[in-house]
Chain A
């Protein structure tokens, strides 16, 4: 009998369409333990609308995990992070900050606002894949996740 893999939804937020594509490709190849549904959004404001189920996202299911870029025009990753973590419904959703910045100030700020993890973006495709594999392994296999709010 084939064990059905659990479905996990991942939201990737990044203003750079190339990075969104690369990340999606890398995650698509992830097949350990879970079946991933990957949603990508390229702006902070839209990501919040998605999470709060506003407008066109009225019936959107909430994700199990969010991969969040920091440096975005308009609403920055920090602002999105703060908004999510101060919302009683949304704050249980783990947020992994995925940023090219390795500045201590940014790292500290991310955790200060309630970010669950901070991962520096890799440069090579192999690096991206390996890094995301490890992140996915950690969050979907090693850790236990709550059911996302409805």
Chain B
């Protein structure tokens, strides 16, 4: 029974040996195939590494006795040399991914050369228990040191490279590192003829071959495992992209996420015209429209996402294509949104520019018309003065009508100019007590129109606006009431009323003919006049439009209220000294008491 077990064990080991040989040869062939396709140095050196080992193993099959003949001695030496070269090949494999330090590289080369030389030079077969010459142990130790040091250095660097890389690349590098260690260990222990260990050694060698294979060309399933949760990646992409307002922002947000997800060398977002909106990493060439080998390109709205693989994770398959598709959809949505923002911004700028142009035009025209009007009026009056005697009554009447029309034109132009100036010129807001302003306006109006009565309340709100504009506003409102009231002895009242918090409300009301309901909004339009047309005395119809502009430019509002008798214009303006709140409480006269306490007055005057 024991013998059977031993025989069985030996057969197992032999079977494993064959599997290992096949595996190594297979790996070498695969690597060379990969090299022929992609010309990558990593593939080349992997091919060399396993080629060396496969050759050594095949020679081993021949089971040559080194002492039999010179040919067999040389062959044996050759086999040893192949194994000695293995760590060097592994080192070069690692170097195809990462730059090495020059001093380390030099050391490796020196060690390898020395070991190789020692192998070649030693006259007798090298064996672990050989004691034939004094230098043989030295040679053995040398080779052991070289083997161990270089292999570990290579494996160590491969593992360390993984630290800096994103998921898939890291997994790959680590797998290769473990494979390298396993292989080196297996090779190291291989010469030991201890039966129990032999099986373990072969198994380790086989595992290392598998690890190398899987690490070099990782299957999709493994890549998925390494990549981690795709959901998390996509969520992070969505988060980054959510605040992107321009196409460049979208590129800046999405390219690093994609780069990380694909462990890519570089990711770029390019337009259909080849312009690079943004990129992460490097290596993206946009000049070639066609795909470079290994590259992934995804069509997005108006361009492409280009993913350039790094040497650490060069293989992209179906899963990657699907993932890129998802990223592509996200990117397209974000790009379209950015496009809409840009359109909206452009439209707004266009409108602002057109508005400015219009204002400038109004200003320019109003101005240029002044000169001919001066001439017209001047001649009309001169004609009247110096040659009026030669005309009959009708002639003089015609002249008077001409002069009146010209004067009206001038008034219109002055008002238009004023309107455009209110829009154009920025004026600083300061606290303005409306009460003294109202009293000044009252005095002026009453001076020229004796029948008009203007009552001004003792207290009016102190608002944040400009004193000149305040005067203009109240003058226009009072003049408007006088003009359109329909009576010479009209009574006008200027008073304060309760308003929303932070705002002061002033009403200018009269007892004239009033404004019909359907016109209450229209009166604030330009050139809207509801009375008789053609005569200068009824005004240009711009006065209320100017009032509205003034009030709105300081953040207030103006409207015509419904009133049982006469017209009531309600002006709302932000109070001075208090921050203006954008949300207003609903309804009129909601919270504020109608009577203001003295302390309120002093507070609001700060």
Residues of A near any B CB (own CB < 8 A): 16, 18-19, 21-22, 25, 100-101, 121-126, 128
Contact = CB atoms under 8 A, between A and B. Distances in A.
A18 B375 contact: yes
Contacts of A22: 374-375, 378-379, 382
A125 B381 contact: yes
B412 interface: no
A121 B378 CA distance: 12
B375 A123 contact: no
A126 B373 CA distance: 14
Nearest first, the 5 A-B pairs at minimum CB distance are: A18-B375, A125-B381, A22-B378, A100-B370, A123-B410
Contacts of A126: 381
Interface in B409-442: 410
Contacts of A21: 378
Contacts of A121: 370, 374
A123 B382 contact: no
A100 B382 contact: no
Interface residues of B, number: 14
Interface of B: 367, 370-371, 373-375, 377-379, 381-382, 385, 407, 410
A126 B407 CA distance: 12
Contacts of B371: 16, 19, 100
Contact of A123 (B367, B377, B379, B385): B377
Contacts, number: 43
Q: Which of B382, B407, B410 lies at the interface centre, i.e. has the most chain A CB atoms within 10 A of its CB?
A: B382
A90 B124 CA distance: 119
Contact of B377 (A16, A25, A125): A125
Nearest to B374: A123
9 contacts: A19-B374, A21-B378, A22-B379, A22-B382, A25-B382, A123-B374, A124-B378, A125-B377, A125-B385
A123 B370 contact: yes
A25 B385 CA distance: 12
B370 A128 contact: no
A18 B370 contact: no
B321 to A, nearest CB: 64
B382 A125 contact: yes
A18 B377 contact: no
Nearest to A17: B375
A101 B375 CA distance: 15
Contacts of B410: 123
B370 A125 contact: no
Q: Which of B371, B374, B381, B385 lies at the interface centre, i.e. has the most chain A CB atoms within 10 A of its CB?
A: B374
Contacts of A101: 367
Given A121-B370, A124-B381, A128-B374, 15 more contacts: A18-B374, A21-B378, A22-B379, A22-B382, A100-B367, A100-B370, A100-B371, A100-B374, A123-B370, A123-B374, A123-B377, A124-B407, A125-B382, A126-B381, A128-B378
Contacts of B407: 123-124
A21 B383 CA distance: 13
A101 B373 CA distance: 14
A124 B381 CA distance: 8
B384 to A, nearest CB: 9
B378 A18 contact: yes
Q: Which of A18, A123, A125 lies at the interface centre, i.e. has the most chain B CB atoms within 10 A of its CB?
A: A123
Q: Which of A16, A22, A25, A126 lies at the interface centre, i.e. has the most chain B CB atoms within 10 A of its CB?
A: A22
Contacts of B375: 16, 18-19, 22
B109 to A, nearest CB: 80
A108 to B, nearest CB: 14
